[in-house]
Structure 1
């Protein structure tokens, strides 16, 4: 539902921050358990970060979209851009479920409020609540590395977040930085229309087979879970899983685009200084350097430890179990996001933070 300007302060039992897959899953389970709640979503319309994906990312290329709870996705055209197909599916779920979603509402800070309650500050008024389920994902927190001389570069520098299509690099000499899935997808596309140079901090590791929740996938989830339960900062998905020989990775290899170079040491006006001291002329840089969890609005709660991580017990922040992080750590995948939404609600009820009134 879309609303106008909120009043200065309102109250509810749970505030869900974020209207992507994990936030919608949490909302579904809160409604089923009869818990008063609201979902605050910064986007203008349904779809979460999928609305911002680059135009050429088709449904055949994405890693898979898991069904939202109680709402099987319809057949999807593999050639349709994910930026239209997924938001349409999310919009159908929102209409069918009738969740109380307010948008666009941007959360700016969360504080400990009066008594045991929390205050959620937004650009459209404040909310006082007993618990927060945070589902803000990573899209709004791109990693933008800095190298000496970067500000002197005369060409465009684009992060994955702002990438539109290979057309914007046609005919150029492009340094593509990053060793993740998005980097490979964009490298493959851009190498069709431009001269590309691929840079990564570490030698990429390619594995045979597909990533699934079983087998190696289960081992990966266990490793990420161990990190968050120990309060260690988590790395990128690929740092746990390695890379798969997907069709686009094979196409890039066959085109000779997967000739990886170690990271350059500096950026100059018309190119980059290589690790061996030589110079490579480039006139554009794509920073496919990934994202980190978008959690700055939780900083007033001082949840991070001396390592810079946030320790979790399940989905609950160990230091403050009123706060749950979903779509974070081991629940970043679409199937993990669904499970985390259910777990957060179940845990809050079991610990007595919430008093449910089951809906018949």
Structure 2
């Protein structure tokens, strides 16, 4: 059986940044990617997605994003950047390798793949991030809904919803962005348990990320205080708040229940709806670690700052609030990857 230094599971931003720092530590990582290219989830996001962070704050370690540093890159620019990064990285990248299980073998691990192959590794970094498993909450009556139920991870453009009555569930950035875009082609309501919270994209004339960087808030080790996924404030340059203010879309408290094709709102009004889009976040997709006892009851990793609490040679990169506000972002994942790579290198060099 082939044996490697470090198996990095996932070739998105987290896996690429991890491999970069593992190489700098003198280790030889092998990046294992289930899909056919190193773009993580980016190529599957909706077509109109644009970063909230300027290009100057959207780079992985060792390669600037390029172009106008103050522009807000489009999804396709991020995809192209990741492919360019992977090509220049010089690491052993293996696409079409879906990991189905990881188990201990001596001090290290054995990894099973969907096609029956097996790989040995001294250490493992999970870099499939915190966005692999769409969160579909148990909303009252949702299972009985006779219309279309879609998670925002499956949404691409407004075209399939043209002329329909649509409810977007959520109050975060994706929920607001998708609801506003859809409102140009459909009759849309944004429904959530709590009101939308707003944060200006350019406070005091400078981009938000400038202030996060100069104050140190972006990299501050606050992850241990963030116990549960939180709805972040919607970063807005004024367009989205103005759209909701004029009812395109309108914003409502979450419906009380669903019966067949109809939703009943909190005020008792019932109406038929064609489609419900759940912009309700994601959870880590780490089922392949089940045999290690490395997951909590909710399926999330048991870790401290990315270091697994189950095994000293297992680590995680790219989790939401792994260590800081920016842990799951292009601008912040490199910091966590550097710490994880250094820790694993020290562990592997122990007698």
Give TM class, smaller chain. 0.7 to 0.9
Counterpart of 2:126?
134
Structure 1 counterpart of 2:282: 291
Q: Deviations over 1:126-157 (max 9, x none)?
A: 11112111110234300112334323323221
SS at 2:335 equivalent: helix
Question: Can you list the C-alpha shifts for 1:107-138, whole angstroms capped at 9, x where unaligned?
Answer: 1111112x111111112411111211111023
Name the CA distance, whole Å, in 1 between partners of 2:27 and 2:74.
36
Contact 1:264 1:274 in 2 (8 A): yes
- Residues 259 and 137 (structure 1 numbering): CA distance in 2 closer, same or farther, change over 3 Å? same
CA contact (8 A) 1:198 1:257 kept: no
Would you say how many aligned residue pairs link Structure 1 and Structure 2? 334
Does the 8 A contact of 1:187 with 1:252 survive in 2?
Answer: no
Shift of 1:205: 2.1
Secondary structure of the residue that 1:256 maps to in structure 2? coil
C-alpha separation in 2, matches of 1:217 and 1:251: 31
Whether 2:226 is the aligned partner of 1:235: answer no
Which stretch of structure 1 is more off in the superposition, 27-36 or 70-79?
Answer: 70-79
Tell whether 2:24 aligns with 1:29. no
Determine which of 138, 141, 166 is the counterpart of 1:146: 138
Q: How far off its partner does 1:219 sit? A: 7.3
In structure 1, C-alpha distance between the alignment counterparts of 2:298 and 2:78, rounded to whole Å: 36
Residues 154-173 of structure 1 correspond to what in structure 2 (within 5 A)?
154-173=146-165
Residue 267 (structure 1) aligns with: 258
Hey, what does 2:348 align to over in structure 1? 353
1:34 Cα deviation after fit? 2.2
TM-score, normalization by structure 2: 0.86
| Cα distance change of structure 1 residues 94 and 220 upon mapping to structure 2, 3 Å threshold | closer
Distance 1:305 1:52, change over 3 A: closer
Task: Kindly report which structure 2 residues correspond to 1:198-213, keeping only aligned pairs within 5 A, or say none.
Answer: 198-208=190-200, 209=203, 211-212=208-209, 213=212
User: Which residue of the partner structure matches residue 314 of structure 2?
Assistant: 323
Query: Is the Cα contact below 8 Å between 2:293 and 2:310 reproduced in 1?
Result: no
> How far 1:311 moved relative to its partner?
4.2
User: What does residue range 292-311 of structure 1 map to in structure 2 within 5 Å?
Assistant: 292-305=283-296, 310-311=301-302
- Select 2:12's aligned residue among 5, 11, 20: 20
**Alpha-carbon spacing, 1:225–1:216, altered in 2? closer, same or farther (3 Å):** farther
Q: What corresponds to 1:38 in structure 2?
A: 30
Alpha-carbon RMSD across the aligned residues, in angstroms, is 2.6
For the residues of structure 2 that align with 1:306 and 1:173, how far apart are their CA atoms? 37
CA distance in 1, matches of 2:298, 2:283: 15
Q: Deviations over 1:34-81 (max 9, x none)?
A: 2122000112112111111111224xx444562222212221796974
Aligned partners of 1:35 and 1:354 also within 8 Å:
no
Q: How far apart, CA to CA, are the structure 2 residues paired with 1:107 and 1:252?
A: 43
* Structure 2 match to 1:278: 269
Gaps of 5+ in 2: none
Structure 1 residue 312: Cα displacement: 2.8
Q: 1:326 to 1:252 in 2, by over 3 A?
A: same
Alpha-carbon distance, 1:321 to partner: 2.3
Q: CA deviation at 1:222?
A: 4.0
CA spacing shift, 1:162–1:221, aligned 2, 3 Å: farther
Structure 2 matches for 1:186-197, cutoff 5 A?
186-197=178-189
Equivalent of residue 116 in structure 1, options 99, 107, 114: 107
Instruction: Show structure 1 runs of 5+ residues with no match.
Output: 1-8, 356-360
Q: What are the superposed Cα offsets for residues 230-282 of structure 1, whole Å, 9 maximum, x if unpaired?
A: xx4x31351xxx23333442342244236432211221222211223321321
Q: Contact 2:54–2:72 (CA<8 Å) still a contact in 1?
A: no
Rounded Cα–Cα distance in structure 2 between residues aligned with 1:205 and 1:79 = 22
- Per-residue displacement from partner, 1:194-250 (whole Å, max 9, x unpaired)? 1111111222222343643347881795443334xxxx4x31351xxx233334423
What SS does the aligned partner of 2:43 have? helix
